[in-house]
Amino acid sequence: GAPFDSSRGRGTEFTFRVGARHVIRGWDTGVATMKVGERAYLLLAPDYGYGAAGAADVIPPGSWLLFDVELCRIQ
């Protein structure tokens, strides 16, 4: 697949509150296990990503997703 988004490319951090359901399920689950400064690859099954619906014209229905995530800080 091809990259569809990158906060690194924008030079900004992406922030969210774990467990608040503002991001896909796989991010809540994966980031909750990380420590500050850790970098991880999150391979997400469709049920942990965008599921059978996909996301607009960017992510097809039923897609597996691979994210390269770095936890910069916790507030």
**Better-scored residue on pLDDT, 66 or 3:** 66
pLDDT beyond 80 at 4: no
Q: Sorting pLDDT into bands at 50, 70 and 90, what band is 6?
A: confident
Burial 10-24 (b: 16+ CB within 10 A, else e): eeeeeeeeeeeeeeb
User: What's the CA gap between 8 and 18, in Å, rounded?
Assistant: 20
Q: What CATH number was assigned to the domain covering residues 7-70?
A: 3.10.50.40
DSSP class of residue 5 equals -
Q: Tens of pLDDT along 20-74?
A: 888 999 999 999 999 999 999 999 999 999 999 999 888 999 999 999 999 988 8
pLDDT at 34: 95
